[in-house]
């Protein structure tokens, strides 16, 4: 399994065997079943997760019990409630499996040790964080400036495999449209 983590990291930075041995000791592997939560709103968020296999959704439930999907995470993606993870506060979102899922888990202490103990890993995490910020800004701008049809087409273009893996009701929630609107968009494309 750890070869998957090494390949992922080495897309950005090279590691020799000793460096990877140092990296590897900071990660654990966990498995979750479909529908299981890695954490729920109000929980402490102990880990940031790198998806080995499976599919997750990051959700926030509002005061009216409406579920808002902030993100999906599939293989080769990182996910957590980053605010809660980095500030050691309670989660404002929940992370749930849409499929049986296997993840690498990294604690905040492990993250800090990796960054201070191996400069390359600090560069790796900076690159990953920057990519995440760019994706978040794209998503915000999409909601501010794009129609439902445009958001649907952008998602289809960027992540075509999600359409085979995610129920339409959840894709609709992610896009901020009704299930009926998504069906109309789906049939017109």
Q: For 132-157, give the DSSP string.
A: HHHHHHHHHHHHHH--HHHHHHHHHH
How many domains does one find in the chain?
A: 1
43 inside domain: yes
Domain interval for residue 74 = 2-118
Residues 152 and 150: their CA atoms lie apart, in Å, by: 5
Asked whether the beta carbons of 49 and 66 are under 8 A apart, the reply is no
Average pLDDT value over all residues in the chain: 93
* Mode of pairing for the β-strands spanning 55-61 and 94-97: antiparallel
pLDDT tens digits, one per residue of 60-99: 999 999 889 999 999 999 999 999 999 999 999 999 999 9
28 located within any domain: yes
In a domain, 170, yes or no: no
Task: Tell me, yes or no, whether 64 lies in a domain.
Answer: yes
Burial of 95 per CB tally in 10 Å (0-12, 13-18, 19+): buried
pLDDT value, residue 180: 83
Which band of pLDDT confidence, cut at 50, 70 and 90, is reported for residue 117? very high
172 by Cβ neighbours in 10 Å (0-12 / 13-18 / 19+) ranks as buried
Instruction: Report d(CA 184, CA 151) in Å as an integer.
Output: 14
CATH of residue 24's domain is: 2.60.120.10
In a domain, 29, yes or no: yes
């Amino acid at each position: 399994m750890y070869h998957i983590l090494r390949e992922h990291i080495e897309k950005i930075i090279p590691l020799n065997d000793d460096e990877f041995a140092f990296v590897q000791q900071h990660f654990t592997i966990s498995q979750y079943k479909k529908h299981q939560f890695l954490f729920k709103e109000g929980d402490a968020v102990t880990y940031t997760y790198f998806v080995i296999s499976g599919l997750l959704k990051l959700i926030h439930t509002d005061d009216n019990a409406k579920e808002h999907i902030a993100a999906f995470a599939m293989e080769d993606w990182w996910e957590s409630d980053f605010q809660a993870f980095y500030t050691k506060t309670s989660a404002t979102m929940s992370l749930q499996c849409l499929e049986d899922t296997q993840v690498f888990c990294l604690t905040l202490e492990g993250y800090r040790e990796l960054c201070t103990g191996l400069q390359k890993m600090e560069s790796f995490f900076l690159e990953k964080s920057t990519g995440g910020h760019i994706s978040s800004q794209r998503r915000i701008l999409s909601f501010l400036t794009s129609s439902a049809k445009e958001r649907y087409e952008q998602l289809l273009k960027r992540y075509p495999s999600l359409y085979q893996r995610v129920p339409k009701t959840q894709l609709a929630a992610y896009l901020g449209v009704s299930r009926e609107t998504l069906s109309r968009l789906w049939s017109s494309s």
